[in-house]
């Protein structure tokens, strides 16, 4: 009877690690305090898993910041600018790499596959001197052992580590990261030998890059790496863990051919074809770690269905060779349902967070071994059935409306250039019109008002009055600055943060539930709390019309309505697993469509529909991109296909690496897109330089709102000039990179003043 957990959330059920880290960084507590919180968390996780009966319990999946950075530390691959002088890497160097320090910025961070977890990207060049500089993996193994828990130490595998790295500055174009393999393998050997000496009998290498589109040279690197490690690994059981997608047949062949490996971990939730690969060909005598419990979602497992999958696999791999596991690390799900005080019992019965998933894995392993816990299985079956039939989940009218969208197309009747003409007649904007992205600074006063309203300390009337006053201030300021298209500043919701950007709308839509403690680590100490979409989505009543029309009544200038788009709401939520993502997305699109049309009726002529997360949802494998982009872009178009030509639809995206999806972005058919640009050194503009035609309005951000720095008029004018070299004058907009919520008024006022001055200066010259 064997069960395994790929990895476990580190933050703690109430984000204990977050608070300990932040207090340590603020120098409010000592390194000892931090160490104690971390050790307590690890110990309680190990004990919880061992108490639940899990056989293969992971260690070294804890991290003070990030597991890739931990590997960088293990290998001593500290970039020279951190002035590390050797020896064991301490907090100073570690957190400097993660977060920067007074004199050096942090290392780059990027998304971990298609999750919302972000890792610190290793920077490797031909000159790095590797050394065994963090004994964390061994220390944690020993720590668990001392607590009486025998664990499987987890390392990021050497090939995935290199494939996730980037070449150091100066050698970007020329350096082959995989050429470093022979240099890092010796460090891995040292670690493995120490783990063996400490009594480990299993070791897990996470090699998730095996699910990507790899060429034969990259696949060959896996073969070479494990052949090299084979003799050091002898005497250990070796698990190669993959997750997040199917393996291609070539990758699978490589995996099962690796020397010295005894077990393969496969994601059977996202990897829908994986079972077939196993059934066709599985090496005799090896273990299959079957990831049937979803690590990326919060739904209770359908135990009966998993059990039959497992039984079919057991027939192939052999009775004592099948291990029940999670599809990936539980890092990507919420921690413990026990702490959810606000969800009702019915919804709770449909859910399983990390702690509950551990119990599910064990129940499946027991059932497979003939010790089925009938009571547990039948209550699970009852919950599955109630979810299927609950009227809270199904709304026939919504289903029907969303069904009707499939296979059809939705576009505005008139083409974009004719629409822009019609809009210009109505809006009468100057060339190079100026605007902002939505939010204005959040003052202390504003935070207080929102907090007191939430705590019922002030009446709704007082709250509305306070928000109205804030909107008035923001409107007046924009008029003083002479901005052309205004925003209301989003004081009623802190929309800039992804939590709120989705939560604000989710709270007003049906089909959404919200947790109190359902936090998931995003990076370092940062966590997000995604809403749960459990049912068909509909919009009982208008969500933003009151605030937008109030704001519009305060000015003669056009006021932008401000909405979050369907794809972003979808990608930033825990979504249903009982229907395809695109169906849920279509339902949200219909709800947003109602809102767009109500805004139009209320006299709002410019409506911005933010799609900050459209690119994030791109599947890992290229072969799946086209399908995703098709329904995602379609969903966006559904929201605004019904508006008049004279209504101007904006969208906004906070990233600029969209060169590969530019045609889909054009296909969104927005009238104007505002987009981040200033941090990326014109990467964005290069696509237009290369000849892509863009006829809609476009506002590449002219300054970086992430920095307190105030850009000068000359600097902004210079940026605009560079854009004018590749884009037509009549389509260019002038705006910052993103919303201004995180900035202070002392920064925002002069920056916007210079932005408007730069636009005006250029207008006279054109």
Is 741 one of the binding residues for ligand GLN (CB under 6 A)? Answer: yes
Is residue 663 part of an annotated ligand binding site? yes
Interaction partner, residue 438 (ligand GLN, Zn ion, none; CB < 5-8 Å by kind): ligand GLN
Is residue 547 part of an annotated ligand binding site? no
Q: How many CA atoms lie within 13 A of 67 on its CB side?
A: 27
Is residue 421 part of an annotated ligand binding site? no
Is residue 392 part of an annotated ligand binding site? no
**Sign of the CA dihedral with 425 first, then 429, 431, and 435 last:** negative
Helix (H/G/I), strand (E/B), else coil: 586: helix
Is residue 437 part of an annotated ligand binding site? yes
Residues 465-504: x where in contact with ligand GLN by CB under 6 A, - otherwise, as a string: -------------------------x----xx----x---
Nearest of 187, 82, 172 to residue 125 by alpha carbon: 172
- Per-position DSSP letters for 266-306, written without gaps between them: EETTT-TTHHHHHHH---TT-EEEEEEE-SS--BPP-HHHH
Identify which range of 107-115, 291-299, 540-548, 738-746 contacts ligand GLN by CB under 6 A.
Answer: 738-746
Phi–psi pair at 677, nearest 5 degrees = -150, -30
| CA–CA dist 364, 274 (Å, integer) | 19
Query: What residues line the site for Zn ion (CB under 5 A)?
Result: 654, 738
Alpha-helical runs (H) found in 281-432: 303-317, 345-349, 354-368, 374-389, 396-403, 416-427
Which residues in 385-444 contact ligand GLN (CB under 6 A)? Answer: 437-439
Strand partners, 156: 206
Is residue 652 part of an annotated ligand binding site? yes
Residue nearest to ligand GLN (CB): 739
Is residue 572 part of an annotated ligand binding site? yes
Instruction: CB nearer to ligand GLN: give 12 or 739.
Output: 739
Instruction: CB nearer to ligand GLN: give 225 or 496.
Output: 496
Instruction: CB nearer to ligand GLN: give 68 or 437.
Output: 437
**Sign of the CA dihedral with 128 first, then 133, 134, and 139 last:** positive
Scan for tokens 């898993």, then name that residue.
49
Helix (H/G/I), strand (E/B), else coil: 360: helix
* Residue 668: partners with Cβ closer than 8 Å, 6 or more residues away: 611, 633, 636, 637, 651
Interaction partner, residue 303 (ligand GLN, Zn ion, none; CB < 5-8 Å by kind): none
The pair of three-digit structure tokens given for residue 103, joined into one six-digit string:
């004199």
Interaction partner, residue 495 (ligand GLN, Zn ion, none; CB < 5-8 Å by kind): ligand GLN
What's the min distance (Å) between Cβ of 440 and ligand GLN?
A: 9
Is residue 439 part of an annotated ligand binding site? yes
Interaction partner, residue 239 (Zn ion, ligand GLN, none; CB < 5-8 Å by kind): none
Instruction: CB nearer to ligand GLN: give 52 or 501.
Output: 501
Instruction: CB nearer to ligand GLN: give 181 or 501.
Output: 501
End-to-end CA distance of the chain: 76
Strand partners, 521: 527
What's the min distance (Å) between Cβ of 51 and ligand GLN?
A: 41
Is 506 one of the binding residues for ligand GLN (CB under 6 A)? Answer: no
CB 537 within 8 A of CB 585: no
**Sign of the CA dihedral with 97 first, then 100, 105, and 107 last:** positive
Interaction partner, residue 68 (Zn ion, ligand GLN, none; CB < 5-8 Å by kind): none
Residues 652-671: x where in contact with ligand GLN by CB under 6 A, - otherwise, as a string: x-x-----------------
Nearest of 489, 463, 458 to residue 474 by alpha carbon: 489
650 is known as an active-site residue: no
CB neighbours (10 Å) of residue 408? 8
Interaction partner, residue 288 (Zn ion, ligand GLN, none; CB < 5-8 Å by kind): none
Q: Mark 286-299 as b/e (b = at least 16 C-beta within 10 Å).
A: ebbbbbbbbbbbbb
Is 137 one of the binding residues for ligand GLN (CB under 6 A)? Answer: no
What's the min distance (Å) between Cβ of 438 and Zn ion?
A: 8
- Candidates 738, 752, 758, 762; binder of ligand GLN (CB under 6 A) is 738
Interaction partner, residue 471 (ligand GLN, Zn ion, none; CB < 5-8 Å by kind): none
Alpha-helical runs (H) found in 165-273: 181-197, 216-233, 249-256
Identify which range of 177-185, 252-260, 359-367, 733-741 contacts ligand GLN by CB under 6 A.
Answer: 733-741
| CA–CA dist 250, 240 (Å, integer) | 16
Phi–psi pair at 749, nearest 5 degrees = -60, -55
Which residues in 604-643 contact ligand GLN (CB under 6 A)? Answer: 610, 612
* Binding site residues, ligand GLN, CB under 6 A: 437-439, 490, 495-496, 501, 562, 610, 612, 652, 654, 738-739, 741
Task: State the binding site for L-homocysteine.
Answer: 610
Task: State the binding site for L-methionine.
Answer: 437-439, 490, 610
- The set of catalytic residues is 706
Task: State the binding site.
Answer: 18, 116, 437-439, 490, 526-527, 572, 610, 652, 654, 663, 667, 676, 738
């Amino acid at each position: 009877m064997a069960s395994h957990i790929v990895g476990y959330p580190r933050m703690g059920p109430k984000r204990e690690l977050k608070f300990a880290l932040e207090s340590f960084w603020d120098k409010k507590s000592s390194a000892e305090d931090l160490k104690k919180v971390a050790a307590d968390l690890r110990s309680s996780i190990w004990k919880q898993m061992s108490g639940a009966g899990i056989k293969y319990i992971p260690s070294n999946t804890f991290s003070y910041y990030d597991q890739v950075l931990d590997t960088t530390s293990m290998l001593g691959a500290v970039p020279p600018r951190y002035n590390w002088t050797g020896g064991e890497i301490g907090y100073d160097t570690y957190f400097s790499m993660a977060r920067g320090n007074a004199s050096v910025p942090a290392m780059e961070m990027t998304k971990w596959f298609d999750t919302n977890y972000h890792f610190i990207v290793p920077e490797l060049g031909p000159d790095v001197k590797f050394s065994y500089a963090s004994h964390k993996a061994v220390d944690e193994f020993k720590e668990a052992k001392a607590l009486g828990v025998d664990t499987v130490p987890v390392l990021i595998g050497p090939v995935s580590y290199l494939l996730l790295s980037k070449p150091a500055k100066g050698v970007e174009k020329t350096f082959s990261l995989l050429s470093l393999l022979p240099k890092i393998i010796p460090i891995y050997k040292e670690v493995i030998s120490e783990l063996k000496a400490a009594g480990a009998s299993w070791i897990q290498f996470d090699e998730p890059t095996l699910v990507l589109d790899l060429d034969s040279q990259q696949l060959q690197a896996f073969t070479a790496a494990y052949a090299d490690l084979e003799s050091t690994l002898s005497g250990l059981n070796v698990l190669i863990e993959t997750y997040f997608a199917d393996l291609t047949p070539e990758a699978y062949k490589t995996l099962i051919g690796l020397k010295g490996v005894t077990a393969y971990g496969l994601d059977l939730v996202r990897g829908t074809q994986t079972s077939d690969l196993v059934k066709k060909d599985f090496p005799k005598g090896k273990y299959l770690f079957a990831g049937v419990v979803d690590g990326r979602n919060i739904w209770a497992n359908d135990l009966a269905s998993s059990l039959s999958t497992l039984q079919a696999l057991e027939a192939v791999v052999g009775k004592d060779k099948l291990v029940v596991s999670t599809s990936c690390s539980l890092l990507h799900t919420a921690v413990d349902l026990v702490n959810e005080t606000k969800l009702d019992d019915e919804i709770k019965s449909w859910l399983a967070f990390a702690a509950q998933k551990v119990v599910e894995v064990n129940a499946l392993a027991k059932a497979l071994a003939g010790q089925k816990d009938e009571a547990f299985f039948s209550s699970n079956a009852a919950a599955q059935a109630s979810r299927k039939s609950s009227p809270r989940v199904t709304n026939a009218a919504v289903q029907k409306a969303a069904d009707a969208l499939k296979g059809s197309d939705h576009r505005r009747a008139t083409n974009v250039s004719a629409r822009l003409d019609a809009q210009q007649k109505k809006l009468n904007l100057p060339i190079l019109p100026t605007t902002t992205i939505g939010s204005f600074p959040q003052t202390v006063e504003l935070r207080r008002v929102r907090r007191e309203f939430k705590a019922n300390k002030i009446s709704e009337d007082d709250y509305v009055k306070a928000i109205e006053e804030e909107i008035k201030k923001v409107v007046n300021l924009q008029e003083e600055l002479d901005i052309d298209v205004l925003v209301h500043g989003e004081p009623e919701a802190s929309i800039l943060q992804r939590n709120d950007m989705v939560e604000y709308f989710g709270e007003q839509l049906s089909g959404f539930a919200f947790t109190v403690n359902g936090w998931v680590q995003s990076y370092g100490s940062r966590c997000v709390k995604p809403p749960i979409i459990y049912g068909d989505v509909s919009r009982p009543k208008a969500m933003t019309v009151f605030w937008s029309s109030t704001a519009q009544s305060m000015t003669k200038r056009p006021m932008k309505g401000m909405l979050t788009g369907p794809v972003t709401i979808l990608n930033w939520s825990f979504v249903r697993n009982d229907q395809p993502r695109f169906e849920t997305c279509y339902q949200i699109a219909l709800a947003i469509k109602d809102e767009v049309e109500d805004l139009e009726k209320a006299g709002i002529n410019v409506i911005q529909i933010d799609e900050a997360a459209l690119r994030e949802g791109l599947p890992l494998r290229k072969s799946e991109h086209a399908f995703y982009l098709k329904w995602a872009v379609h969903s966006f178009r559904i929201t605004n296909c019904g508006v008049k030509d004279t209504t101007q639809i904006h969208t906004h995206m906070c990233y600029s690496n969209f060169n590969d999806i530019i045609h889909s972005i054009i296909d969104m058919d927005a009238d104007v897109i505002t987009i981040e640009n200033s941090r990326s050194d014109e990467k964005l503009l290069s696509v237009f330089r290369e000849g892509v035609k863009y006829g809609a309005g476009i506002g590449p951000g002219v300054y970086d709102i992430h920095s307190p720095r105030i850009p000068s008029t000359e600097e902004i004018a210079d940026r605009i000039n560079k854009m004018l070299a590749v884009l037509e004058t009549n389509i260019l907009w002038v705006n910052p990179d993103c919303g201004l919520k995180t900035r202070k008024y002392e920064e925002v006022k002069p920056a916007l003043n210079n932005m408007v001055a730069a636009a005006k200066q250029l207008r006279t010259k054109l």
